[in-house]
Structure 1
Amino acid sequence: MRRWWWLLLLVGLLTPGHRVLAEGAGFTVTPELPANQLGGDTGWFNLLVTPGQKQELTVEVDNQSDQTKTLRLSLTNAFTQDNGQVGYEPSRRKDASAKVQLTAIGSKPITIDLAAHQGRKVTFQITPPAGGFAGQVLGAVYVKDLTEPAKASSSGFAVTNQFAMVVAVQLQTSETLVPPALHLLSVKAKADRVQATIQNAAPRLFGKLSMRAQVLPAGKTKAVYQQKNSNYAMAPNSAFNYQLAPPKGLAAGKYQLVINAAAGSYKWQFTKSFTLKAPIAPTTPATPATQKVSGVWWPWAIALVVVLLMGMLIGWWRGRRQSAGR
């Protein structure tokens, strides 16, 4: 039996509301927001917690389908994806600057079975460090459908949709926010690109990050490649790989990477040298469909023009003969 698996992530942080749901998932996840919620009913946990005191995170999971569902609920740590957006799914990424993570202070994963149209509340226990922590701890309650797929049809082919839903969790022991702390950790040359590792070493979630990168040959002031990106976001205490792929490639040699970054009133500039031991090949753009079509049809177009011209000449010649006969 052949199976196709699709994963859908819905993040409460990005889609505020009372309930996290997806068409076709067959279940919903609703957070029960406690009295220490910050910012009102946003549809995700944004809590001011007390150091050393247990905090409950409760979600109600409802099976809206006509079959029994097996769901696994777990806590996850937020991270920054290489596309410059915050991720909440389970990941092994951990930045050295992170002193407190949600999975380290929270209870273990829970697996439940829900009968058709049954609902159940699931509670995680969070115990913040007795000494508190600076800034924010960011993660999520991650709910994954583990229900066994239906049996294949007589053709032996089955399509299975696998869903996961996420409700973001942000914790603070003080309402005072720390500023983001951006660093350029390293620059590495890959076969087809230059990779710069950008780190946010502060326990601070922030967005609207714009970046302008320039690649300059060593000792030169004119850039051989420039790249601009905007609307990036970074999770607290995380890093991501910023990719630069010059369309025209880069010759082997020594270079400098200069990055100017800004998020609101925060601004940074980084400069780091790197060496390309082998050239980066140019990126070959895909041939547009219109060019392909014209490449196939141009002989027929010429033939059509020739036929039309011949028809016009024959018509002109016949007209002259008829005039001469009169």
Structure 2
Amino acid sequence: MRRWWWVLLALVLLAPGRKVQAEGAGFTVTPKLPSNQIGGNTGWFNLLVKPGVKQNLTVEVDNQSAETKKLELSLTNAFTQDNGQVGYEPNKKQDASAKVQLTAIGSKPITITLAARQGRNVTFQVTPPAKPFPGQVLGAIYVRDLTKPAQASGSGFAVTNQFAMVVAVQLQTSQKLVPPELHLLAVKPKADSVSATIQNAQPRLFGKLKLMARIYPAGATKAVVTQRSTNYAMAPNSAFNYQVTPKTALAAGKYRLVIDASAGSYKWHLTRNFTLSAPVVPSQTAAAKKSSPAPWWPWVIALVAMLLLGILVGWWRGRKTQRG
């Protein structure tokens, strides 16, 4: 029996709403916002918490399908994906600059079974540190459908949609925000690009990040690679790998990467030297070389040579026959 799994993630961090749902999922997740919610009913937890005081995070999970569902709920930590967007799925990423993470101060995962059309409240507890922490702690309540797939049909195929839903959780002990702080931690050459690890070392979620990356040969003032990116976002205390891809191959040698970044009034100038021990060849260039047809002119020359040889042989035989 063969099974195909499709995953749909419903995220509500930046989209206002009360109930998290997705067409075909068969269940919904609704956050029960407490009185210490700030910023209004955004459809996710944005809480001003007290140091050392336990905080309940309650969601109502409703099974809207006609079958029993098994669901797993867990707390996750937000991180920055390599595509420059904030992710909330379960992960093991932990930046060295993070002092507080949601999973470290929250309760363990919970698995529930809901009968058809049944609903239930599920509560997590988080206990903030005894002393106030600066900035924001960002994560989510992640709800995953663990319901076993239906038996395969006679054709031997079973098609199953597996859904996961997310309700973002942001905690603060003060409404005063700290400014983001970007660092260029490392530059690592890859076969087809140059990977730059960019870190946000502060507990601050921010977006509308613009990046201008330039690569200079050592000692040169003219860039051989220029790349622009916009509308990136970064989670608090996180890092991601930004891929700088040249349009043409970069030869082995010494280079300098410069990234000018901005988000609103915040600006950063990041630079780091690196060495290429082997050329960096963009994948499209390599593919073009691989797929490009063999040159036609050697075949034309060979054909012309064969024709001339044939004419010469025919002429020589004709003369020999006339002499005979």
> How far apart, in 1, do the equivalents of 2:139 and 2:287 lie?
43
Q: CA RMSD in A?
A: 1.5
Q: Is the alpha carbon distance of 1:66 and 1:193 closer, same or farther for their aligned partners in structure 2, counting shifts above 3 Å?
A: same
Aligned equivalents of 1:283, 1:17: Cα separation in 2: 42
Q: State the secondary structure of the residue aligned to 1:17.
A: coil
1:76 to 1:261, Cα distance in 2 relative to 1, 3 A:
same
Q: Percent identity?
A: 74
Count of aligned pairs between the two proteins:
289
Q: More deviation in 62-71 or 6-15?
A: 6-15
Equivalent residue number for residue 157 of structure 2: 157
TM-score (norm 1): 0.87
Output the CA distance in 1 between the equivalents of 2:282 and 2:266. Answer: 35
Residue 230 (structure 1) aligned with residue 253 (structure 2):
no
SS of equivalent residue, structure 1 residue 246: coil
Following superposition, the deviation at residue 118 of structure 1 comes to: 0.4
Amino acid across the alignment from 1:36: N
Q: Name structure 2 gaps, 5 residues minimum.
A: 289-324
Partner of residue 70, structure 2: 70
Establish whether residue 50 from structure 1 lines up as the match of residue 34 from structure 2.
no
Aligned mates of 1:221, 1:150 — CA distance in 2? 63
Secondary structure in 2 matching 1:58: strand
SS across alignment from 1:177:
coil
8 Å CA contact retained: 2:135, 2:204: yes
Paired residue for 2:198? 198
CA contact (8 A) 1:246 1:283 kept: no
If the length of structure 2 is used for normalisation, what is the TM-score? Answer: 0.87
1:282 Cα shift?
3.6
* Partner residue, 1:134: 134
Would the alpha carbon gap of residues 167 and 88 (structure 1) be closer, same or farther in structure 2, given more than 3 Å must change? same
Q: Quote how far apart the aligned CAs of 1:15 are.
A: 2.1
**Distance in 2, Cα, partners of 1:119 & 1:268:** 49
Q: Which amino acid letter does the alignment assign opposite residue 239 of structure 1?
A: A
SS of aligned partner of 2:214? strand
Residues 172-187 of structure 1: pairs in structure 2 closer than 5 A: 172-187=172-187
Residues 286/7 of structure 1: CA separation in 2 closer, same or farther (3 Å cut):
farther
CA distance in 1, matches of 2:282, 2:27: 47
Counterparts of 1:109-120 in structure 2, within 5 Å, are 109-120=109-120
Q: Does 1:6 align with 2:6?
A: yes
Tell me how far apart the structure 1 counterparts of residues 283 and 109 of structure 2 sit (CA, whole Å): 45
Note the C-alpha offset of 1:287.
10
1:243-290 Cα shifts (integer Å, max 9, x gaps) = 0111212111100000000000000001110000000124326999xx
Q: CA deviation digits over 1:86-109, x for unaligned, max 9?
A: 000001111000000000000010
Aligned to 1:19: 19
Distance in 1, Cα, partners of 2:281 & 2:162: 38
Q: 3-state SS of the aligned residue for 2:18?
A: coil
Q: Which moved more, 1:114-123 or 1:4-13?
A: 4-13
Question: How far 1:191 sits from its partner (Å)?
Answer: 1.2
* Distance (Å, rounded) in 1 between the aligned partners of 2:83 and 2:71: 29
After superposition, where does 1:164-175 map in structure 2 within 5 Å?
Answer: 164-175=164-175
CA–CA separation in structure 1 for the residues paired with 2:111 and 2:278: 50
SS of residue in 1 equivalent to 2:104: helix
Residue 221 of structure 1 corresponds to 221
The answer on whether the counterparts of 1:201 and 1:238 sit within 8 Å (CA) in structure 2 is yes
Distance in 1 between residues matched to 2:41 and 2:283, nearest whole Å = 47
